[in-house]
Amino acid sequence: MYKFARPRIFASRCLGFEACRWNGAIINTEITRRLAPHVDFITDCPEVAIGLGIPRDPIRIIEHEGELELYQPANGLDLTEKMRKHTAGFLDSMPQVDGFILQSRSPSCGPWDVKIYNGRSPKAQTLRRAAGFFGGEVLSRFGSLPVEDEGRLTNFTIRERFYTQIFTLAEFRAVRASGRASRLVEFMSHHKLLLMACHQREQKTLGHIAASHEGLPFDMVLDEFETHLLLALHNGPRRNGAINALMHALGYFKKELKTQEKRYFLELLDEFRNSRIPLSSLNSVIKAWIERSDESYLRMQSFFEPYPSDLVDISDSGAGRDY
């Protein structure tokens, strides 16, 4: 059984770790509970960290004289500078992480879709929506990493992409920590089909970087590799890319498959191309063939199991199911 690297993930502390919301509540979310056995979490509650108690009067983002302010209407407190200082200090000293799970719509943690009010009056109207103070700084510093809010992660496709990204990035962090060029070659070989399914051009660039870096400082090679890895993983596996990867896998069984088996697989591929069946239906067929023929190269491909199987959960909030 493949041993997955443990992703290091930042999560808003109210997402199942502590009852620290403004009203003293905790958010019982599935996502952090399911991930807990596989992930090392780093958490923070920026509002508690700047000295607001639990419970506390709610805060909001307002636009005042053309500037955004973090404001507590009940007592007229401007918390902007305190929050900026805490956010910068926390993110400066945080160890490298592989992704973020932030509380949606919070004026502090929300990465997007946070209400911005028109002025300090308690009766002010919503002007527009933007990022919270902490969430916005996360995006501006770490926007190339996987950043999601817990609401979006109830969507099957978004969750699957997030898991794929964080487990792949955690493994790359282990490659970097090892300092060994051979680990980079192994990484490339393990993820070849997955990267092909995500972004074929970047997969080729990554293959080239991993294979031809002699004479260059290894840290520099890893930095360049990481830049292209993040680009490759950004959108997760795409439908056309997945079809390429599956055709590539099919090639390994060319000689041993009966004509009817090939025809059946190509029919399934057509169904998948037309969004009538999920990728997992084709992967199950290939996995059965891998077992039958003991195909070791395909067996090690992360494309067929990019994250631990007990995280597979087909529940879906509905929107955005397509690749």
Interface positions with ligand SF4 (CB under 6 A): 12-14, 20-21, 45-47, 103, 106, 108-109
Beta carbon of residue 261, minimum distance to ligand SF4 (angstroms, whole number): 52
Considering the complex, what minimum distance in angstroms separates the CB of residue 142 from ligand SF4?
16
- What token pair was written down for 279? 């990728």
When the beta carbons of 106 and 203 are compared against ligand SF4, the nearer one is 106
Tokens 């950004």 belong to 234
d(CA 208, CA 211): 5
Closer to ligand SF4 by CB, 16 or 236: give it. 16
Decide: residue 207, CB within 10 A, 0-12 exposed, 13-18 middle, 19+ buried: middle
Task: Tell me the closest approach of the beta carbon of residue 67 to ligand SF4, in angstroms.
Answer: 21
CA distances from 68 to 45, 62, 116, 131, 158 (A): 20, 6, 8, 11, 30
* Count of CB atoms situated within 10 Å of the CB of 245: 27
* Minimum distance from residue 82 beta carbon to ligand SF4 (Å): 13
Say how far apart CA 184 and CA 221 lie, in whole Å: 10
User: Smallest gap, in angstroms, from Cβ of residue 166 to ligand SF4?
Assistant: 19
Q: Which is nearer to ligand SF4, 32 or 301 (CB)?
A: 32
The runs of H, that is alpha helices, within 117-191 are: 133-142, 156-178, 181-190
Nearest approach, Cβ of residue 48 and ligand SF4 (Å): 6
Please list the alpha-helical segments (H only) found in the chain: 30-35, 46-49, 80-93, 133-142, 156-178, 181-190, 192-198, 200-211, 218-233, 239-251, 259-273, 279-293, 296-299
Comparing CB distances to ligand SF4, the nearer of 108 and 283 is 108
Task: Identify which of residues 107 and 237 has a Cβ nearer to ligand SF4 in the complex.
Answer: 107
